[in-house]
Structure 1
Amino acid sequence: MLTEVTATRYVTPLREGGSLPGIVEADDLGTYVMKFTGAGQGRKTLVAEVVCGRLGRRLGLRVPELVAIQLDPVIGLSEPDQEVQELLKASGGLNLGMDYLPGSLGFDPLAFEVSPEEAGRVVWFDALVNNVDRSWRNPNLLVWHGDLWLIDHGATMIWHHNWPGAAASAARPYDASDHALARYAPDVASAAAELAPRITEELLDEVTAEVPDAWLLGEPGFEDPDAVRRAYARALLDRAATIHERITLGAPSGPRVPQPPGWLTDHLGPWPHTAGESAGTDSGAAGRTAEGSTR
């Protein structure tokens, strides 16, 4: 089971995600990104985080450590944001914490190179769990101490939202054309040869056992939490053997890298610029670039 800690202080909300996660401190002196059972996506998001996070780590991918966090809603009474207060009130009890990586940066393809081997491992893993939320629009990747880290797996295994159709859903192909790492020529074949044999029934039993019973109770069509765990394991085991044959890497639906703003490029002619262009426009553009940078 996940290590269990108790939240001692709510630090700040993270408004980048739709579920409004927050940074909290806990009684083990750790700092965590906390995801709440009372968020709109519900407890299945937390189940997906645990299954994918634990499975990724067992496969050698860098995923922050996960813990179960006991939350007393009283710690949010001083929070001035009404939305945050309501979320904390709705999330008393057991929630999910992801180890906070201080100083990490959001993945930027213009500043960080990824080998075809590592890209292939990430793409294959995302295909296995059907991750629809690691695109060039929203990579859900961090760079920490020079290494690539995978975060936010709540939008995976979409078949668990409709268990009667899970077998058919889990058999579908995976379109990686818009994947955040598609531009790095991911070596999916090598990744499949290395990782697929490691997806065993025993491994999946161990991974799904990490999910707290409280997040699996009352699932329609299942008699108990262990039956739900077996359903997750069955879908992933069936998918692992052949998903590499059904991964598509085509042309992206849009630009894969950030584009410079029009105010910076519209007035510039082909390089090299003339002396007048450099004196009259370039210095102002450079100043605005520095001031407008988000990194």
Structure 2
Amino acid sequence: MLQEVVATRYVTPLREGGSLPGIVEADDLGTYVMKFTGAGQGRKTLVAEVVCGELGRRLGLRVPELVAIELDPVIGLAEPDQEVQELLKASAGLNLGMDYLPGSLGFDPLAYEVDPAEAGRVVWFDALINNVDRSWRNPNMLVWHGDPWLIDHGATMIWHHNWPGAQASAAKPYNASDHVLAPFAPDIAAAAAALAPLVTEELLTEVVAQVPDVWLEGEPGFDTTDRLRRAYVEPLLARAGSIHERILMEAPAAPRPSQVPGWLTEHLTPWPHPTKKDRAARADTGRTSKDGDR
């Protein structure tokens, strides 16, 4: 099971997310981005976050640590926003927390380079979990200390919204044409060779076991949570061996202009970032070059 902590302070809502996640502090002195069971997308979004987030981390991808957060709605009484108060009241009990990455920036494909090997691993992983929400329109990636981190896996495994059609849905190809990393020539074959053998029944069973029972109880068509957990394992296990053969990479839609200010662009490059001393040296070199031209 996920580590459990208790929320001690509601800090602020994050308006960028459609489910209105919020930043909270917990009794382990950690700070988390909290996603709520009372949000419109419901608990299946949290199940997908756990299964895919924990799977990604075990495959060596950068995913912030996840915890289960016990929420007492009383901590939100001082929050002036009525919508936030109602969300907190509807989410009493166990919710999901994602480790807060202070100082991280939203990933912009026009300002940051990703090598083909890493791009291939991310695209292959998103194909495995059928992630429809990592496009250039909404990358769901952060840059922290110069490295890309994967976040927000709630819109994955679409088959768990219709279990009777899960097998047919899981057999479909994955269209990566608009994937945010498609322009970086992702090496999908190498990724499949490295990662597919790791996706075993044992690994998937371990990952699915991290989901709290309370988010699985009462699912129509399943008389026990163990059977439901098994239903999560089977489509992923079946996809792992061959999904790389069904990844479509057509001509992507026209990308939008970069939204990153010029003064921030250099800080999206991998470490080490240019320092003030480096910039001064480049400026001096430029002036010397101009003087020499004269």
Q: TM-score range by the shorter chain?
A: 0.7 to 0.9
1:219-230 maps to which residues of 2 (within 5 A)? 219-230=219-230
For 1:21 and 1:226, locate their aligned partners in 2 and report how far apart those are by CA, in whole Å: 29
Tell me the alpha carbon deviations over residues 231-254 of structure 1, each in whole angstroms, 9 at most, x when there is no partner. Answer: 000010001111000001111123
Task: Read off the aligned partner of 1:48 and give its amino acid letter.
Answer: A
For 2:110 and 2:173, locate their aligned partners in 1 and report how far apart those are by CA, in whole Å: 29
Task: Read off the aligned partner of 2:166 and give its amino acid letter.
Answer: A
The 3-state SS of whatever aligns with 1:226 is helix
1:137-156 maps to which residues of 2 (within 5 A)? 137-156=137-156
What's the counterpart of residue 255 of structure 2? 255
The 3-state SS of whatever aligns with 1:131 is coil
Of the structure 1 ranges 61-70 and 107-116, higher mean CA displacement relative to structure 2 is found in 107-116
1:192-211 maps to which residues of 2 (within 5 A)? 192-211=192-211
For 2:222 and 2:6, locate their aligned partners in 1 and report how far apart those are by CA, in whole Å: 30
1:93-132 maps to which residues of 2 (within 5 A)? 93-132=93-132
For 1:74 and 1:6, locate their aligned partners in 2 and report how far apart those are by CA, in whole Å: 13
Residue 108 (structure 1) shift = 1.3
Q: Judge conservation of contact 1:208–1:233 (CA < 8 Å) in 2.
A: yes
For 1:177 and 1:256, locate their aligned partners in 2 and report how far apart those are by CA, in whole Å: 15
Q: Judge conservation of contact 1:129–1:157 (CA < 8 Å) in 2.
A: yes
Gaps of 5+ in 1: 261-295
For 2:35 and 2:259, locate their aligned partners in 1 and report how far apart those are by CA, in whole Å: 32
Question: Taking structure 2 as the reference length, what is the TM-score of the superposition?
Answer: 0.87
Residue 120 (structure 1) shift = 0.2
Residue 257 (structure 1) shift = 4.9
The 3-state SS of whatever aligns with 1:111 is coil
Tell me the alpha carbon deviations over residues 169-213 of structure 1, each in whole angstroms, 9 at most, x when there is no partner. Answer: 000000000000000000000000100011100000000000000
What's the counterpart of residue 23 of structure 2? 23
What's the counterpart of residue 212 of structure 1? 212
What's the counterpart of residue 186 of structure 2? 186
For 2:183 and 2:103, locate their aligned partners in 1 and report how far apart those are by CA, in whole Å: 26
For 1:50 and 1:14, locate their aligned partners in 2 and report how far apart those are by CA, in whole Å: 20
Q: Does residue 84 of the first structure (1) align with residue 84 of the second (2)?
A: yes
What's the counterpart of residue 289 of structure 1? none
The 3-state SS of whatever aligns with 2:94 is strand
Residue 256 (structure 1) shift = 5.6
What's the counterpart of residue 74 of structure 1? 74
For 1:43 and 1:55, locate their aligned partners in 2 and report how far apart those are by CA, in whole Å: 18
Residue 64 (structure 1) shift = 0.1
For 2:10 and 2:140, locate their aligned partners in 1 and report how far apart those are by CA, in whole Å: 23
Q: Does residue 157 of the first structure (1) align with residue 172 of the second (2)?
A: no
Question: How many residue pairs end up in the alignment?
Answer: 261
For 1:81 and 1:159, locate their aligned partners in 2 and report how far apart those are by CA, in whole Å: 35
Gaps of 5+ in 2: 261-294
Task: Read off the aligned partner of 1:73 and give its amino acid letter.
Answer: P
For 1:178 and 1:3, locate their aligned partners in 2 and report how far apart those are by CA, in whole Å: 35
The 3-state SS of whatever aligns with 1:204 is helix
RMSD of the TM alignment (CA)? Answer: 1.3
What's the counterpart of residue 280 of structure 2? none
Q: Judge conservation of contact 1:209–1:229 (CA < 8 Å) in 2.
A: yes
Residue 3 (structure 1) shift = 0.3
For 1:256 and 1:83, locate their aligned partners in 2 and report how far apart those are by CA, in whole Å: 32
Residue 127 (structure 1) shift = 0.2
For 1:191 and 1:140, locate their aligned partners in 2 and report how far apart those are by CA, in whole Å: 20
1:58-69 maps to which residues of 2 (within 5 A)? 58-69=58-69
Residue 112 (structure 1) shift = 1.2
Aligned-pair identity in percent equals 82
For 1:156 and 1:174, locate their aligned partners in 2 and report how far apart those are by CA, in whole Å: 12
Residue 81 (structure 1) shift = 0.4
Task: Read off the aligned partner of 1:51 and give its amino acid letter.
Answer: V
For 1:194 and 1:186, locate their aligned partners in 2 and report how far apart those are by CA, in whole Å: 14
The 3-state SS of whatever aligns with 1:165 is helix
Task: Read off the aligned partner of 2:116 and give its amino acid letter.
Answer: P
Tell me the alpha carbon deviations over residues 50-77 of structure 1, each in whole angstroms, 9 at most, x when there is no partner. Answer: 0000000000000000000000000111
